[in-house]
Structure 1
Amino acid sequence: MGSIVENIKQKASDIYINYTGHHPLDPLTTSEINKAVSIVRETKGQLGYNAVTIAEPKKAEVIAWLADSTTAPKPPRQAEVVAIDKTGAIWDGIIDLDAGKIVQWEKLEGVQPLITMEDLIETDRVVKSNPKVIEQCGILGIPLTDMHKVYADPWTIGYDSRFGNSTRLQQALMYYRPNPDDCQYAFPLDFCPIVNTETKEVIHIDIPEVRRPLNKIPSNYHPKDIESAGGYRTDIKPLHVTQPQGVSFSISGREISWQNFKIHVGFNYREGIVLNNVTYNDKGTVRPLFYRLSLAEMVVPYGNPEMWHYRKHAFDLGEYGGGYMTNELALGCDCLGEIHYLDAFFVNRAGDAVTIKNAICVHEEDAGILFKHTDFRDNSVIVTRGRKLILSHIFTAANYEYCVYWIFHQDGTIQLEIKLTGILNTYAMAPDEDTKGWGTQVHPGVNAHNHEHLFCLRIDPQIDGQSNTIFQVDATKGPGKVGSAENFYGNAFFAKKTKYSTVTEAMGDYDGDTSRTWDIANENKLHPVSGKPVSYKLVSREVPRLLIQEGGLVEKRAGFARHAVHVTKYRDGQIYPAGRHVPQSSGEPSRGLPEWIAENPEEKVDNEDIVLWHTFGLVHFPAPEDFPIMPAEPMTLLLRPRHFFLRNPALDVPPSFCVTPSGVKEGNGVVDATDRLSKLAFGGNAGEGVRGACCG
Structure 2
Amino acid sequence: MTILESTHEHHGHEHHGHRPEHVAVPAHPLANLDADEIRAARTIVSGLPGFAETTRFAYLGLEEPHKREVLAWEAGEGALPDRRVRAMLLELTSGRSEDVVVSLTTGEILSHTVLDGSDGQLPVLLEEFEAIGDIVNEDAAWLAALALRGLTPEQVVYAPLSAGHYGFPEEAGRRILRVLAFRMDHPKDHPWAHPVDGVSAYVDVAARTVTRVVDAGVMAVPAEHGNFDDPELQGPPLDLKPIVITQPEGPSFTVEGEEVRWANWRFRVGFDPREGLVLRQLSFDDQGRERPIIYRASVDEMLVPYGDPSPVRFWQNYFDTGEYLFGRFSNSLALGCDCVGEIRYFDAVLSDELGNPITIENGICMHEEDFGTLWKHGDMYTGSNEVRRSRRLVISFFTTVGNYDYGFYWYLYLDGTIECEAKLTGILFTSAYPGRDADGADYPYASEVAPGLGGPYHQHLFNVRLDLTVDGLSNAVDEIDVRRVPMGPGNEYGNAFTKQVTRLRTEGESGRRADGSVGRTWFISNTEATNRLGRPTGYVLHPQEAPVLLADDASSIAKRAAFAQQHVHVTKYDPVEKYAAGDFVHQHPGGAGLPAYLADDASIDGEDLVLWHTFGPTHFPRPEDWPVMPVDYAKFTLKPYGFFDRNPALNVPAPAAHCAPGEAHEHGGHDHASHDHGHHGN
**Is TM (by shorter chain) over 0.5?**
yes
1:262, distance to aligned residue in structure 2 (A): 0.8
Q: Which of the residues 449, 452, 456 maps onto 1:449?
A: 456
Counterpart of 2:474 in structure 1 is 467
Q: Indicate conservation of the 8 Å contact 1:165/1:584, yes or no.
A: no
Higher mean displacement: 393-402 or 423-432: 423-432
Does 2:588 match 1:585? yes
Q: Indicate conservation of the 8 Å contact 1:383/1:657, yes or no.
A: no
Q: Which of the residues 144, 150, 170 maps onto 1:141?
A: 150
Counterpart of 1:104 in structure 2 is 111
Q: Which of the residues 551, 555, 577 maps onto 1:548?
A: 551
Counterpart of 2:353 in structure 1 is 349
Higher mean displacement: 341-350 or 315-324: 341-350
Q: Which of the residues 159, 164, 167 maps onto 1:158?
A: 164
1:412, distance to aligned residue in structure 2 (A): 0.8
Q: Indicate conservation of the 8 Å contact 1:242/1:338, yes or no.
A: yes
1:209-288 alignment to 2 at 5 Å? 210-226=217-233, 230-233=235-238, 235-288=239-292
Q: Indicate conservation of the 8 Å contact 1:296/1:456, yes or no.
A: yes
Counterpart of 1:16 in structure 2 is none
1:682, distance to aligned residue in structure 2 (A): 5.7
User: How many angstroms apart in 2 are the aligned matches of 1:594 and 1:431?
Assistant: 41
User: How many angstroms apart in 2 are the aligned matches of 1:326 and 1:90?
Assistant: 25
In terms of fraction of residues, the more helix-rich structure is 1
1:547-602 Cα shifts (integer Å, max 9, x gaps):
11111111111011121111111111101111100000121xx111011212x12x
Counterpart of 1:25 in structure 2 is 30
SS at match of 2:328: coil
Relative to structure 1, is the Cα distance of residues 586 and 21 closer, same or farther in structure 2, using a 3 angstrom cutoff? closer
Counterpart of 2:203 in structure 1 is 195
1:496-538 Cα shifts (integer Å, max 9, x gaps):
1110011122221111101111011012222213x32100110
User: How many angstroms apart in 1 are the aligned matches of 2:455 and 2:504?
Assistant: 41
1:391, distance to aligned residue in structure 2 (A): 0.8
SS at match of 1:323: helix
SS at match of 1:281: strand
Relative to structure 1, is the Cα distance of residues 181 and 432 closer, same or farther in structure 2, using a 3 angstrom cutoff? farther
Does 2:313 match 1:309? yes
User: How many angstroms apart in 1 are the aligned matches of 2:498 and 2:172?
Assistant: 52
Which residue identity does 2:596 align to in structure 1? E
User: How many angstroms apart in 2 are the aligned matches of 1:378 and 1:125?
Assistant: 79
Q: Indicate conservation of the 8 Å contact 1:543/1:564, yes or no.
A: no
Q: Indicate conservation of the 8 Å contact 2:526/2:538, yes or no.
A: yes
User: How many angstroms apart in 2 are the aligned matches of 1:263 and 1:247?
Assistant: 17
Which residue identity does 2:211 align to in structure 1? I
User: How many angstroms apart in 2 are the aligned matches of 1:262 and 1:295?
Assistant: 20
Q: Indicate conservation of the 8 Å contact 1:128/1:148, yes or no.
A: no
Relative to structure 1, is the Cα distance of residues 538 and 681 closer, same or farther in structure 2, using a 3 angstrom cutoff? farther
Counterpart of 2:182 in structure 1 is 175
User: How many angstroms apart in 2 are the aligned matches of 1:386 and 1:200?
Assistant: 57
Q: Which of the residues 79, 90, 94 maps onto 1:84?
A: 90
1:435, distance to aligned residue in structure 2 (A): 5.0
Q: Which of the residues 477, 497, 504 maps onto 2:501?
A: 497
1:382-422 Cα shifts (integer Å, max 9, x gaps):
22111111111111111111110011111111110111111
Q: Indicate conservation of the 8 Å contact 1:116/1:324, yes or no.
A: no
1:352-379 Cα shifts (integer Å, max 9, x gaps):
2222211111111111211122335676
Q: Indicate conservation of the 8 Å contact 1:383/1:658, yes or no.
A: no
SS at match of 2:327: coil
1:280-320 Cα shifts (integer Å, max 9, x gaps):
11110011111111111121111112213221010110110
1:147-177 Cα shifts (integer Å, max 9, x gaps):
3441112111112322444111111221112
Which residue identity does 1:581 align to in structure 2? F
1:110-166 Cα shifts (integer Å, max 9, x gaps):
220111333323324544565543432222222x4xx34411121111123224441
Relative to structure 1, is the Cα distance of residues 203 and 678 closer, same or farther in structure 2, using a 3 angstrom cutoff? farther
Which residue identity does 1:117 align to in structure 2? L
SS at match of 2:506: coil
Counterpart of 2:193 in structure 1 is 186
User: How many angstroms apart in 1 are the aligned matches of 2:190 and 2:672?
Assistant: 47
1:658, distance to aligned residue in structure 2 (A): 7.8
SS at match of 1:504: helix
Counterpart of 2:59 in structure 1 is 51
Q: TM-score, normalised by structure 1?
A: 0.88
Q: Indicate conservation of the 8 Å contact 1:539/1:637, yes or no.
A: yes
1:92, distance to aligned residue in structure 2 (A): 0.5
- Residue segments in structure 2 that go unaligned for 5+ positions in a row: 1-23, 676-682
Which residue identity does 1:216 align to in structure 2? A
SS at match of 1:113: coil
Q: Indicate conservation of the 8 Å contact 2:433/2:446, yes or no.
A: no
Which residue identity does 1:34 align to in structure 2? R
Counterpart of 1:332 in structure 2 is 336
Counterpart of 1:606 in structure 2 is 605
- Residue segments in structure 1 that go unaligned for 5+ positions in a row: 1-18, 661-670, 688-696
Q: Which of the residues 483, 486, 489 maps onto 2:490?
A: 486
Q: Indicate conservation of the 8 Å contact 1:507/1:563, yes or no.
A: yes
Counterpart of 2:536 in structure 1 is 533
1:59-113 Cα shifts (integer Å, max 9, x gaps):
1101111222xx5211111100100235221101111011112111111122201
Counterpart of 2:563 in structure 1 is 560
SS at match of 2:181: strand
- CA RMSD, aligned part only? 2.3
Counterpart of 2:322 in structure 1 is 318
How many residues align structurally?
Answer: 641
User: How many angstroms apart in 2 are the aligned matches of 1:681 and 1:528?
Assistant: 44
Does 2:371 match 1:367? yes
Counterpart of 2:304 in structure 1 is 300
Counterpart of 1:694 in structure 2 is none
Which residue identity does 1:459 align to in structure 2? L
User: How many angstroms apart in 2 are the aligned matches of 1:592 and 1:309?
Assistant: 25
User: How many angstroms apart in 2 are the aligned matches of 1:655 and 1:135?
Assistant: 73
Counterpart of 1:9 in structure 2 is none
Q: Indicate conservation of the 8 Å contact 1:318/1:582, yes or no.
A: yes
1:194, distance to aligned residue in structure 2 (A): 1.8
Counterpart of 1:36 in structure 2 is 41
SS at match of 2:65: coil
Higher mean displacement: 337-346 or 459-468: 337-346
Quote the sequence identity (%): 35
Q: Indicate conservation of the 8 Å contact 2:94/2:207, yes or no.
A: no
1:545, distance to aligned residue in structure 2 (A): 2.3
Counterpart of 2:9 in structure 1 is none
User: How many angstroms apart in 2 are the aligned matches of 1:156 and 1:511?
Assistant: 33
1:490, distance to aligned residue in structure 2 (A): 0.9
Which residue identity does 1:643 align to in structure 2? G
Q: TM-score, normalised by structure 2?
A: 0.90
Higher mean displacement: 371-380 or 413-422: 371-380
User: How many angstroms apart in 1 are the aligned matches of 2:233 and 2:248?
Assistant: 36
Q: Which of the residues 70, 88, 92 maps onto 1:62?
A: 70
